[in-house]
Amino acid sequence: MHISLTSLQVGWLIGVGICTLGGTFFFIREWTKRKPLSPLAPLQMHWIKIIGCGLMFVVVPLGIHCVFKFILHAPNKGNWVYGYSFLTECILALFFLKIMRQRAFTMNTNRYKLSHIGLTIHGFLQLLPIVIFSMIGWGIVLYILKRLGLPIHIDPQPVVQLLLIHNPTPFSMVAIILTIGVFAPICEEVFFRGILLRFFSRFASFKLSLWADAFIFALVHHHLTTFVPLMLLGYYFCKYYARGRNLWVNIGMHALFNLGNLANIFILKSLVL
């Protein structure tokens, strides 16, 4: 299959390569410094409320995931699933923003200051090599296991498949960007880093809490092909939050990561179609 690249696509690929190299440099320089990680302040929430948050956070995305899988068989109806995702993620985001008013969050998370933009970009560049190299390595492992006869299906996530086969309307595109770039990062960072990580650190060592949080973060995405890269990404988010104690910086990094993935999907779509 012959693939011709436009100047925009070439520029995008070069930009990703430069950012990955820069991120590798920043990552090595930053994480070779030995900085002690102290436990996070306990969150003043009853354990029933914490479990309730977890159930809501797991059940709603699982419902969205199932709807996406169903809609893949009826691509003409794809636009309404974007609206469904938009509404559910919006409601979750408002709920978790309310949670951020807890006293344990108020020291560093009341405002997103201008100085946090640099920290957000710096952290985002560092996570690029983690994701790219882990995706390559995990992809090779899955391919080998599949060649050995194991029943492994290497497929994109349902949302990615839907975006590849269905052209969203302008309204749906706005809903997608807000859902992926705003609401989802708020929900995931407040729950996983702000609530779940603190909850685990009350019962286990801090490092074990980081890995437990990262494991569940990857698990709720319901996708084997990206499980290990997402777990490493979740661990990185946990450690970055443990150092900076600022959820808004984590939310910004997560938003950049999601929007970068969205851009990659449409770049890939323009190459294939």
Q: What average pLDDT does the structure give for the chain?
A: 72
* pLDDT number for residue 254: 93
**Roughly how many angstroms between the first and final C-alpha of the chain, as a whole number?**
12
Q: What is the pLDDT of residues 183-193, one digit of tens each?
A: 888 888 888 88
The whole-angstrom separation of Cα 135 and Cα 192 is 22
Give, in order, the Cα–Cα distances in Å from 141 to each of 58, 148, 227, 257: 28, 11, 12, 24
pTM above 0.85, yes or no: no
Confidence of residue 84 (pLDDT cuts 50, 70, 90): low
pLDDT at residue 122 greater than cutoff 60: yes
Q: What is the pLDDT of residues 192-250, one digit of tens each?
A: 888 888 888 878 888 888 999 999 898 888 778 888 999 999 999 998 888 877 888 89
Domain boundaries, the chain: 7-272
* pLDDT number for residue 109: 52
Q: For residue 118, with 0-12 CB atoms within 10 Å meaning exposed, 13-18 middle and 19 or more buried, which class applies? A: exposed
